[in-house]
Amino acid sequence: MQEKLDIDPLLAWCEQEVVLLRKQIDRLQSGQMAVQQMDDTGRMVETTTQTISQLEAKLSTLEDLVASRQKKIAEN
């Protein structure tokens, strides 16, 4: 008898996003990438630090969702 694999698409997507966010954060922190935005005066301003903070917040939220979903799956 073949074991049925029940894949949770939302969990799989969240796990994939966690990996992608970690890679982006690593590249930004290592200096491989930088982020700039135009300010109100039309000048380009580096916003890498703010972007890292935003990505870390997203990462934290996704990691919490993944952990919560994995726990729920394990209980069933």
> What does DSSP assign to residue 42?
S
Residue tagged 């979903």 (tokens): 69
* pTM for this predicted structure: 0.81
Residue 4: predicted pLDDT: 45
* pLDDT range class, residue 1, cuts 50, 70, 90: very low
- H-type helices in the chain, by residue range? 9-30, 48-75
Tell which residue, 24, 48, 20, has the closest CA to residue 35.
48
Asked if residue 71 has pLDDT above 70, the reply is yes
Q: What are the tokens at 21?
A: 């966010």
51 with 35: CB under 8 angstroms?
A: yes
Tens-place pLDDT, residues 24-67:
999 999 999 999 999 999 999 999 999 999 999 999 999 999 99
